[in-house]
Amino acid sequence: MRMRNSKITYFFLFFISLLFAACDKGYQVRFTNFYIEPMDSVVIGNNKIVYKNVALETTTEYMKLTNGKYHITFTTKTKKKFYSSIYIPKSGSGNRTIQIDAIEQIGIFEE
């Protein structure tokens, strides 16, 4: 009986560790504003992630993003709009930074 309880305990611990390892997969995304004016909003996907009131030379916190292709809309305080897209693969994990600079160049960097 003791051996059976031990096997169940080991199986349960293995299952829990596997569950936590699986939950850790995926990408996190943040936004950095190096444009010449503050951003009123940055919307990724169909309101999947929304950053509001991003000041100059500011980086937002990371937010989790599932796999797929997402369109990004950047809107400045003066209502000027920029567009881009980001692709998140099905496998892998990591952090990505979306950045806009003073010459309206948008870059996506993987860390």
Is the overall model pTM greater than 0.85, yes or no? Answer: no
Residue with more model confidence, 111 or 52? 52
List C-alpha distances in Å: 73 to 6, 26, 45, 88: 54, 22, 8, 17
Q: Where are the domains of the chain?
A: 26-110
- pLDDT bin (cut points 50, 70, 90) of residue 13 is low
- pLDDT bin (cut points 50, 70, 90) of residue 3 is low
Q: Work out the percent of the chain whose per-residue pLDDT is above 70.
A: 77
Q: Domain 26-110 belongs to what architecture? A: Sandwich (2.60)
List C-alpha distances in Å: 58 to 30, 39, 76, 92, 101: 11, 10, 14, 27, 12
